Structure 1
Amino acid sequence: MGVHRGSVRTVAHTERPGLRLLGLPHSGGRAENFAGWRAALPAAFPATAVELCAAQYPGHGDRLAEPPQEAVGAIAEEIVADLTRLPPADLLLFGHSFGSAVACEVARRCPGAGLDVVLLAVSGAWAPGDPARTPRDEHLLPDEELWKRLVALGGIDPDIASQTELRDLLLPAMRADIATHERYLACQDPVRLHCDVHVCIARGDPLVPLRAGRHWARLTTGNTSLDIGHGGHFHVFDDPAPLLENLARRIPVHTKRRRFGA
């Protein structure tokens, strides 16, 4: 799909992007999960050329033969290195679930790499270090039980859910992601960010309650905002148009003026 650039894949290309939207997938997710966002981009961002990109983690998608990376920081370092090789553009990071942890670490490294993050959007995820979160050990569950829980969340295609061979092929990377995410959320080293942060939570998400949105404001010196939507844990892929329109409204005013020539 698109141009192969290591961990960062081009989903919707534009010659001179004013904004680069980078999607960071959930546990077991692939860059291809963001392909459904392409059609909604022009209406959501009518005044600028948006290049949609997505990350492909080691052990996922066409990188299935690689061992999964077990440190969020290492995943982020590879992504940032790839981003520095792309034509310059303002950066909007969108991380869903496990991808929110990766997005945090990408945002933390971007200033040192000369990359301008205009907005960090985190979806369906607790903030790292949130004391209100009860630790979970789902990565220790037996294969059958873990697979059933993942299928119940809605992130696995029903055609795949019943195929044991595919389950055995995909589950190791999912388990590694979940374990990596758990360790990151429990880390006592506070995340320090300076970009604006927008939090997306769904009322029907069984993993992330509404109170999970509060702690994100403590991680950044920038502005924070919260959007409470409908649907379950994977609502961001069910109907992306309202989400993308909301993200466009959250981009700082000074950035819009610079990009749109106002």
Structure 2
Amino acid sequence: MTAESAAGPGTRPISGRAGCSAARSGAPGARRRCRPARPSAAAARLADGPKPADAEATASGMRTRRTARRHARRAFMESSLTASGQSKPPTPTTEKRRDVMHRPASGTSLHPWFRQVRNCRAPRLRLICFPHAGGSAGFFRSWAGLVPDDVELLAVRYPGREDRFAEPPAQRMEELAEPIAQACAKLTGSPLVFFGHSMGASVAFEVAARLAAAPVATGLEALFVSGRPGPEKLRSRNLADASDEELVEELVAMSGTNAEVLANPELRELFLPLIRTDYRLLDAYEAAVPPPTLAVPVVAYYGDQDEHVDEDAVNAWSAVTRSSFATRSFPGGHFYLEQHAAPLVADLFACLDTNAPHLDQG
């Protein structure tokens, strides 16, 4: 990939190497009865037993609360914060069918780490997308209509969310990078391209580094990273230990979609422990210095109003490749790609099609 290949508006090419459970746990203390107490009016009414209307209202309220909890849990499993602006997520049946459909070409087998967002019987390449902290494979649902017809789009399924909700989330980067790298090694027959946003950028890089160190080449063609400083510029923000109020404020500031989800107490109760776990993983993550170098082109994207990822931070990704490197900014903050998914995907494939003509061989 040459410096001119990734050129475009805003592009700066660089060539060469350049708790709720705690709240419920308090049990009322035992009552001491020193003398008979005068029954209250409420107690007197209860002594006669609940009136039919009262009993019906109580049962109805309990049913309503149980239904709300079920709906909140289902909504959390079907989607996650900043779920790419989808107005109505698919039903669980649709999501399950989408997973079961995945029968990759060239003898590769179905694997629980990937969701097939867009099927292609004989793809010229596979684009694998890595979600952000607290995110899920569903974040890339809207990309299905943006990629070319001859591309298979896969999204990584982190444990602890959507249809892997019952599994414990990863505590260390190795718990994600190593099994995902093993799964990618089985995707033969078509070149691979990685795109990772925020935490997903680090996960994608660690997977790429493991594939590069493997004794057998795996066909990775390019790495696209987004909204994340390069390995040598990473700094811990200690968000995992922030209060609920501070954490919610931070999440809402990053994306308007977060505000809608976090306004629901049931969803907030489910989501905050997960995002804390992801942030704790990032706080503990220490990339190798100097980072391992890849032999594939690297392109770094970022929002020009992102308070924590600036041009200097994304330029640090140039140290991870012996091939070409370029950056491009888009208007917006950390989740700029919510508003600019179409031009982002178009730019990604323009880079690939212009600078990797062998990918067109099918």
Fold shared by both chains (TM-score > 0.5): yes
In structure 2, stretches of 5+ residues that fail to align are 1-94, 101-110
The residue number in structure 2 matching 1:79 is 180
Gaps of 5+ in 1: 43-47
CA separation in 1, counterparts of 2:240 and 2:264?
20
- Please name the residue that 2:99 is paired with: 3
- On the 8 A contact 1:13/1:52 being kept in 2, the answer is yes
SS at match of 1:93: strand
The Cα shift of 1:235 comes to 1.3
Q: Per-residue deviation at 1:210?
A: 2.0
Please identify, of 93-102 and 208-217, the stretch whose mean Cα deviation from structure 2 is larger. Answer: 208-217
Which of the numbers 181, 195, 199 marks the counterpart of 2:282? Answer: 181
Distance 1:71 1:9, change over 3 A: same
Distance 1:190 1:155, change over 3 A: farther
Q: Which residue of 2 aligns with 1:193?
A: 293
Residue 36 (structure 1) shift: 0.7
210, 224, 238: which one pairs with 1:137?
Answer: 238
Counterparts of 2:323 and 2:264 in 1: how far apart (Å)? 45
Specify whether residues 190 and 65 from structure 1 end up closer, same or farther in structure 2 by C-alpha distance, changes over 3 A only: farther
Within 5 Å, which residues of 2 pair with 1:84-123? Answer: 84-111=185-212, 112=214, 114-123=217-226
Q: Call closer, same or farther: CA 1:138–1:254 in 2, change over 3 Å.
A: closer
Paired amino acid for 1:136: R
CA-to-partner distance for each residue in 1:145-204, whole Å, 9 max, x for gaps?
2122112211744432111221121111211111212322x4454321322110001111
Q: Name the aligned partner's letter for residue 79 of structure 1.
A: I
1:61 aligns to 2:162 (yes or no): yes
- TM-score, normalised to structure 2, is 0.65
User: What percent of counterpart residues are identical?
Assistant: 32
* Structure 1 letter corresponding to 2:146: A
Provide, for residues 190-242 of structure 1, a one-character-per-residue CA deviation record: whole Å limited to 9, x for no partner: 32132211000111112212221221111221211100111111112322111
Structure 1 partner of 2:128: 22
Cα 1:155–1:193 change in 2 (3 A) is farther
2:46 is aligned to none
Is 1:209 aligned with 2:310?
yes
Structure 1 position 135, deviation (Å): 3.4
Q: 1:100 and 1:206 mapped to 2: Cα distance?
A: 17
Question: Could you tell me whether the CA contact under 8 Å between 1:118 and 1:252 is conserved in 2?
Answer: no
Amino acid corresponding to residue 301 of structure 2 in structure 1: C
**CA–CA separation in structure 2 for the residues paired with 1:15 and 1:228:** 34
8 A Cα contact 2:353 2:360, kept in partner: no
Counterpart of 1:214 in 2: which secondary structure? helix
Task: Find 1:226's aligned residue among 309, 324, 327.
Answer: 327
Q: 1:187 to 1:81 in 2, by over 3 A?
A: closer
TM-score, with normalisation over the residues of structure 1? 0.89
Query: By how many angstroms is 1:61 displaced?
Result: 1.7
**Which residue in the other structure is 1:125 paired with?**
228
CA distance in 1, matches of 2:260, 2:238: 27
Aligned equivalent of 1:45: none
C-alpha separation between the residues in 2 aligned to 1:240 and 1:252? 18
Q: Distance in 1 between matches of 2:361 and 2:166?
A: 45
Q: Which residue is 1:251 aligned to?
A: 352
**CA 1:222–1:74 in structure 2 vs 1: closer, same or farther (change >3 Å)?**
farther
Size of the aligned set, in residue pairs, is 253
